[in-house]
Amino acid sequence: MALSLVPPSSSPADPVPPRYSQYRYWDEINSTALRVVNATVARVLADRDRQGDLFAPPVLEAATPAAVNAIAATTKNETLGGMLSPSQANLFLNCSAKWWFKHGLSLPDPKGGRQVRGLAAHKVVEHWYKLQLQGEVVEVDSLEEVYEAAWEFQSAGAQFSNDDDIEDLKRSGARLLRKYLDEVAPSIKPAKVEQHVTGSIAGVPVQGFIDLVDVDGRIIDCKFAEKSPSGITPDYAFQLATYRQLQPGANGKARLDTLVNNKTPKLVTIEYEVSVADQLLTQNLYPRVREGIREGLYFPNRGSNMCSRKYCNFCDACEKEFGGKVE
């Protein structure tokens, strides 16, 4: 008789049931149920601590409105994050508390001086390209009134700091705008201006506004800054990767023209092409951002350079909500 190499069969042993202390015991339980369990455990522990004190009030009567609100704030809210954008996602990733103050609570967020300058100049550039699409020949000098109107519109309700020289900001915006329209705009052949794009990335509805797409399918952006950029920032790469997936016929190529406010205005042009890795990042982060928003995971990023009274309008609300001090 031949020797068998197959081990004798045996009845499988019953799997060891998971213990309460093991993650897999709770793996199939949703977040809401876990919060109920957590609240119950906290109440039982509080009752145990009070045993022997006949004068301690019942737990439910001792609960303060603040404690009730804190519990309610952690309840999952499926209505938030219904439509995201690259700017919202970047804001949440950089400071989720700021996202909550701006988009969750809709607290006032007035524009600052440099933002007014950039938006006013941007509106003139937009006007220029729209006239180009209509086949009109535009003289740069004829756009002075357009810039004045754009400045008045953008500065209404703005919050200029004590350090802002408003007239100097306005003049510097005009100088930067002139350089762009003289040296950059004439060489660009626009196909679409201020295009609104929508779609879905990893199951999350996303929208955005693309400043300009040229006839070759390349995204071209114009920005205004105080310092020369050394490259494409991660925030902007995320934005471009989003547009690459939402813009029909996009080729993934982009160009960023930055006007730098030196004594002599400076132009810095950076070419970029969206990679597969860039797109993968958006597909991983958009669902997580939406989940974080709906789970109420909001906290300040006090280590960020942007966490200051110079760059954030929510400092008082942040200190009141989370404590600490914002300089």
Percentage with pLDDT > 90 across the chain: 67
Q: Which domain holds residue 182?
A: 113-284
Query: Looking at the domain assignment, is residue 69 inside a domain?
Result: no
Query: Looking at the domain assignment, is residue 172 inside a domain?
Result: yes
Distance CA 117, CA 112 (A): 9
Query: Looking at the domain assignment, is residue 17 inside a domain?
Result: no
Query: Looking at the domain assignment, is residue 298 inside a domain?
Result: no
Query: Looking at the domain assignment, is residue 3 inside a domain?
Result: no
Q: Is 238 helix (H, G, I), strand (E, B) or coil?
A: helix
Q: Render pLDDT for 200-222 as a digit per residue (tens, 0 to 9).
A: 999 999 999 999 999 999 999 99
Query: Looking at the domain assignment, is residue 40 inside a domain?
Result: no
Quote the number of domains for the chain: 1
Q: Which amino acid is residue 136, in one-letter code?
A: E
Instruction: Output the DSSP codes for 296-323.
Output: T-----TTSTT-STTT-TTHHHHHHHH-
Asked if residue 300 lies in contact with residue 322, where contact means CB atoms within 8 angstroms, the answer is yes
As a whole number, the mean pLDDT across the chain is: 83
Residue 111: half-sphere exposure toward Cβ, Cα within 13 Å:
16
Q: Which residue has the higher pLDDT, 320 or 39?
A: 320
Assign 310 a pLDDT band (cuts: 50, 70, 90): confident
Query: Looking at the domain assignment, is residue 9 inside a domain?
Result: no
In the block, which residue shows the tokens 């119950």?
40
Question: 199 exposed, middle or buried (CB, 10 Å; 0-12, 13-18, 19+)?
Answer: middle
Please tell me the predicted confidence (pLDDT) of residue 1: 39
Q: What does the pLDDT average to over 288-317?
A: 93
Q: Is the pLDDT of residue 240 over 80?
A: yes
pTM: 0.74
Q: Render pLDDT for 141-198 as a digit per residue (tens, 0 to 9).
A: 899 999 999 999 999 989 998 889 999 999 999 999 999 999 999 999 999 999 999 9
Q: Which amino acid is residue 250, in one-letter code?
A: A
Query: Looking at the domain assignment, is residue 239 inside a domain?
Result: yes
Please tell me the predicted confidence (pLDDT) of residue 163: 87
Q: Which H or E element spans position 219?
A: strand 219-225
Q: Is the pLDDT of residue 287 over 80?
A: yes
CATH code of the domain containing 143: 3.90.320.10
Longest dimension (CA), the chain: 104
